[in-house]
């Protein structure tokens, strides 16, 4: 299951994110989304867990919990919507 995590502390590493979810089961991947221009965290990320029951337990347990001083939002990730290509206004 792919899990969305919002309101992440900007200083959080992918390893710390993975560790927070690993207490509920196997984590295949943890990914924090970074701003392409600044290289800083955008404050959200995704965790992939192969076992749906463990993933749901992690969602239920971690939603609205404190992670390094921030109340994180955790839910099942929705599939990415197809968007038209961006047009730069020059």
Q: Does any domain span residue 86?
A: no
Q: Does any domain span residue 57?
A: yes
Task: Kindly report whether the global pTM for this prediction surpasses the value 0.75.
Answer: yes
Q: Please give the tally of structural domains in the chain.
A: 1
Q: Does any domain span residue 12?
A: yes
| 52-62 vs 14-22: helix crossing angle, rounded to 10 | 100
Q: Does any domain span residue 87?
A: no
Q: Are 32 and 8 in contact (CB under 8 A)?
A: yes
Give residue-wise pLDDT tens across range 14-57. Answer: 999 999 999 999 999 999 999 999 999 999 999 999 999 999 99
Which domain does 22 fall in, by range?
2-76
Q: Which of 58, 1, 71, 59 lies closest to 25, judged by CA?
A: 58
CA distance 12 to 16: 6
Banded model confidence at residue 90, pLDDT cuts 50, 70, 90: low
């Amino acid at each position: 299951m792919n899990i969305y995590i919002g309101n992440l502390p900007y200083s959080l590493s992918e390893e710390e994110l993975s560790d927070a979810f690993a207490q509920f089961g196997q984590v295949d991947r943890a990914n924090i989304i970074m701003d392409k221009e600044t290289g800083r965290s955008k404050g959200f990320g995704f965790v992939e867990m192969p076992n749906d029951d463990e993933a749901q337990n992690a969602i239920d347990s971690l939603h609205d919990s404190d992670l390094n001083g921030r109340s994180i939002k955790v839910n099942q990730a929705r599939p990415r919507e197809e968007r038209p290509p961006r047009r730069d206004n020059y």
